[in-house]
Amino acid sequence: MKIHHIGYLVRKMEKAAVAFEALGYVPEGSAVRDEGRGADILFLEKDGYRIELISPYTPESVVAGLVKLYKNAPYHICYTADDFAKDAAWLEANGYTRMGEPQAAPAIRGRRVVFFMHSSLGMIELLEDI
């Protein structure tokens, strides 16, 4: 599994994007509304590192609670799966608890993602490689 991005919660997408761009990050396209997660999502890249800005647009968002807790902060690392089903099974057999079913991610051309929680490591995301 290779690192695809670092997920970064932000309270205000526009202001966060401006601030990251001032540090030299370059947006990959524009923000995409992910209705399944109730959040706007924007990818940016700098020095070979990709970050994903995630900003809830509704209190119903699955990340609304996390934004209240963390404000603006990184909160997951996403890994591209070599084999989505096999890697997910490996994670589950190695102390990771799956958080829900895999879902298509509109901001990543509909590739499926699934989140896991580990008691010593926190949250990770697994991304289907297609």
- What is the per-residue DSSP string for 29-70? S--EEETTTTEEEEEEEETTEEEEEEEESSTTSTTHHHHHHH
Write the single-letter amino acid at 100: G
Sole window of 11-19, 30-38, 47-55, 87-95 interacting with Ni ion (rule: CB under 5 A): 47-55
Residue 34 near Ni ion by CB under 5 A: no
7 binds Ni ion (CB under 5 A): yes
- 75 in Cβ contact with 9 (< 8 Å): yes
User: Using CB under 5 A, which of 9, 67, 78, 108 touches Ni ion?
Assistant: 78
Cβ-proximal residue to Ni ion, closest one: 7
- List contacts with Ni ion (CB under 5 A): 7, 52, 78, 125
